[in-house]
Chains A and B, each alone.
Chain A
Amino acid sequence: MSERFFPDTMPSPVADATTLPWWQAAAEHRLVVQRCAACGHTRLPPSPICPECRSAEASWQQVSGRGEVYTYTIVHRPIAANQPLPTVIAVIALEGAGGVRLISNLVGIDPTAVRIGLPVELVWEDMSADLAIPRFRPRAA
């Protein structure tokens, strides 16, 4: 099992037909973005139809998980028992992902040290045998 940052009490995501492949890739520690087969536009969260060209054909493109903090907030109220506070929620601009951003948590950082533009890298957190959640931590620029 991976390093843990959040307790089991955190609410679990519920996958549907559209998002299931994304969560399956995550369970294998592969961070993917959805790429339109017709126009090449990349997108997250997964959706049935490309917002640029309306094609329903798409594939999954793996990305490195490197990126930088686009924006963030520091949350001081828990949504689950035993949640470590404060919790940093950040929008991560993913490198090599066609401009796609992902909302996640920053871990391994003093919340007062978070800045826009902070270079980060992916760290997987295995919440259970079949659920892994991508979090991010600072990396050397």
Chain B
Amino acid sequence: MTFREHASRNPRAVMGNKPMTLADHQASPMIADPHRLFDCCLESDGACALVVTTEERARDLAQRPIEILASEQGTPKGFAFGPFTNANVADELYATGACEELANRLYAKAGVGPGDVDVAQIYDHFTGCVLMQLEDYGFCKRGEGGPLVDSGALAWPNGSLPANTHGGSLSEAYIHGLNHVVEGVRALRGDSANPVEGAEVCLVTSAACVPSSAVMLGRR
């Protein structure tokens, strides 16, 4: 519902003119328990692009450059691609997004911590995976992802961690998360449909519960 509300101000969002109440969500058909239709991301045709270049060249470009503070990829042991592989991961990883190691490496490399993140674009293939990532990336303790979202933390403009300010894969479009990177750049340039005032650090994550990656973007 939070991401759908964000999408309402984003002219690119597929679901921009389709507001959703809790009752709408609860009335949507169950797909794979506990995920209902509106817990699953969209299926979209679309494209987006990024220009990645050196700081020196970026200085001469028309658009304000945004810095890649750090990027990381990887997966804990036991995870792999394929439908039958993740059943054998370690017990302590089972109910997580398996991104905690990756997150810790990303924070260390970027020289920032969860408290420094002003805005986040969190890969939202399914709503449950968003909750697990909030825990993996250190925004709350294990098992507290639900209450954190319930508190309004992800909502623009007043939440402590405005997230998926474009509407995400649930409500903007499913461009496999590259649209989250584009939105991360917009969020720091200040030209997002839901601009977070003074934002200097934006976390962008990729899929949870599979081999994953993430990037920390920064504005000087």
Partner-contacting stretch, out of B3-11, B13-21, B77-85: B77-85
Q: Which of B33, B78, B83, B87 contacts A76 (CB 8 A)?
A: B33
Residues from chain A with Cβ under 8 Å of B88 in the complex: 43-44, 99-101
Question: Size band of the B side of the interface?
Answer: 10 to 19
Known contacts A44-B88, A101-B87, A101-B88; decide if A71 and B94 are in contact (CB<8 Å). Answer: yes
- Closest A residue, CB atoms, query B37: A77
Question: Size band of the A side of the interface?
Answer: 10 to 19
17 contacts between A and B (CB under 8 A): A44-B87, A45-B82, A51-B78, A70-B87, A73-B33, A74-B32, A74-B33, A75-B31, A76-B31, A77-B32, A89-B32, A91-B87, A100-B88, A101-B87, A102-B84, A103-B83, A103-B87
Residues from chain B with Cβ under 8 Å of A44 in the complex: 84, 87-88
Q: Which of B30, B31, B84 contacts A103 (CB 8 A)?
A: B84
In chain A between 50 and 70, which residues have their CB closer than 8 angstroms to a CB of chain B? 51, 70
- Complex CA–CA separation, A56 to B94 (angstroms): 27
Tell whether B29 is near chain A: CB-to-CB under 8 Å.
yes
- Determine the main DSSP class of B at the interface with A: loop
- Closest B residue, CB atoms, query A111: B33
Residues from chain B with Cβ under 8 Å of A70 in the complex: 87
- Complex CA–CA separation, A73 to B84 (angstroms): 14
Residues from chain A with Cβ under 8 Å of B78 in the complex: 51
* Chain A residues in the interface with B (C-beta under 8 A): 43-45, 51, 70-71, 73-77, 89, 91, 99-103
Residues from chain B with Cβ under 8 Å of A75 in the complex: 31-33
Contact with A along B94-108 (1 / 0, CB 8 A): 100000000000000
Contact with A along B141-156 (1 / 0, CB 8 A): 0000000000000000
- Closest A residue, CB atoms, query B85: A45
- Complex CA–CA separation, A70 to B91 (angstroms): 10
Residues from chain B with Cβ under 8 Å of A100 in the complex: 88
- Closest B residue, CB atoms, query A75: B32
- Complex CA–CA separation, A51 to B31 (angstroms): 33
Residues from chain A with Cβ under 8 Å of B87 in the complex: 44, 70, 91, 101-103
